[in-house]
Amino acid sequence: MGDETWTVGRLLTWTTDWLGARGSDSPRLDAEVLLAHVRGCPRIMLYTAFDTVVPDAERGRFRELVKRRGEGEPVAYLVGSREFFSLPFAVTKDVLIPRPETEGLVVRTIDLGKPSAAPRIVDVGTGSGAVAVAVARHLPKASLAATDVSPAALAVAKANAERHGVADRIAFVEGDLLADPRLAGPWDVIVSNPPYVREDEFSALPRDVRDHEPRAALVAGPTGVEIVARLADQAAERLVPGGWLLVEIGPATAAAAEAAIAAVPGLEPRPTLKDMAGLPRVVQAQRRV
């Protein structure tokens, strides 16, 4: 960046161009988030400080983060946080970065839980805890469990639940899907954003995802629905009659996921929900009454 006088505005312009040339699909946003993080201010405050000279120490920290972003490291990991459902969530490399597409899963869970006086909901494969925490915040009478095979991920989820004041209503359980006896239910809603990438899709994922996010939280197996099928088998025995199973999937595995769930005795398939881009995103089923 040279030794010239670097203002906030000049740094943002230079960094936006530099990141854009290295493949970032949101170079201006990346630059703003990183600089706001270094300066310890809300991103909006950068717009009132365009002519402010950035001190050398801050510029050094910013330069290092920008370099790592240029090498493909996700911004959320660089700053340790990502907003989801209008809430800030701590993230580490032990968990997937929450994505906007998953907010539809939360909306549907909240809608299903509202009619119940005290809904019982379990979030399978909770990762950062984004789904469970967001649901708990919007359903104050709900009791929840959140499961994950990764103790490191559960530690992140617990910290996020404490941050948002819902830890007392979420039981965190380490284990494979719903195998733990404490998860026998019955549950009103079983919700999950499981691994659903096929093994042959992995190499084509964006570099920042493929090289930095936990592979075990992304790849399900050769078909992409191995975990969905196992979860559906377990859910059929653990839902209340009429209870709902909601599973986020990728468009490439939607048909296979629908077929896997439809093959489970005791589950009645319901229409798959689409995301804001019109792509199939949430496969649904109800336990037969």
pLDDT tens, position by position, 71-94: 999 999 999 999 999 999 999 999
Q: Is residue 163, in this structure, part of any structural domain at all?
A: yes
Percent of the chain predicted with pLDDT > 70: 99
Q: Are 211 and 246 in contact (CB under 8 A)?
A: no
Tokens (6 digits) for 60: 């050094």
Q: How far apart are CA 12 and CA 50, in angstroms?
A: 9
Q: For residues 217 and 96, what is the distance between their CA atoms, to the nearest angstrom?
A: 7
Query: Same structural domain for residues 198 and 154?
Result: yes
Q: Is the pTM of this model over 0.85?
A: yes
| pLDDT bucket at 289, cuts 50 / 70 / 90 | confident
Residue 169's domain comprises: 94-287
CATH number for the domain that contains residue 138: 3.40.50.150
Residues 56 and 154 in one domain: no
In a domain, 81, yes or no: no
105 with 52, same domain?
A: no
- Taking the C-alpha atoms of residue 133 and residue 122, their distance in angstroms, rounded to an integer, is 11
CA–CA distance, 33 with 44 (Å, rounded to integer): 10
The answer to whether residues 108 and 249 belong to one domain is: yes
On whether both 54 and 163 belong to a single domain, the answer is no
Band (pLDDT 50/70/90 cuts) for residue 185 is confident
214-245 pLDDT, tens digit each: 999 999 999 999 999 999 999 999 999 999 99
Q: How many CB atoms lie within 10 A of CB 28?
A: 15
**Together in a domain, 122 and 180:** yes
Distance CA 84, CA 91 (A): 11
pLDDT tier at 142 (50, 70, 90 boundaries)?
very high
The owner of tokens 């084509």 is 204
Cβ-based burial of 2 (10 A; exposed 0-12, middle 13-18, buried ≥19): exposed
- Of 40, 71, 102, the last residue of a domain is 71
At 100-119, the pLDDT tens digits run 999 999 999 999 999 999 99
Same domain, 144 and 196: yes
If asked whether residues 30 and 170 sit together in one domain, one would say no
Rg of the chain over Cα atoms, rounded to whole angstroms, equals: 21
Please count the structural domains in the chain. 2
Q: Which residues of 53-84 are buried (b: 16+ CB within 10 A; e: fewer)?
A: ebeeebbebbbebbebbbebbbbbbbeebbeb
Q: Do 115 and 248 reside in the same domain of the chain?
A: yes
Give the chain's mean pLDDT: 95
* Nearest residue to 184 via CA among 233, 238, 235: 238
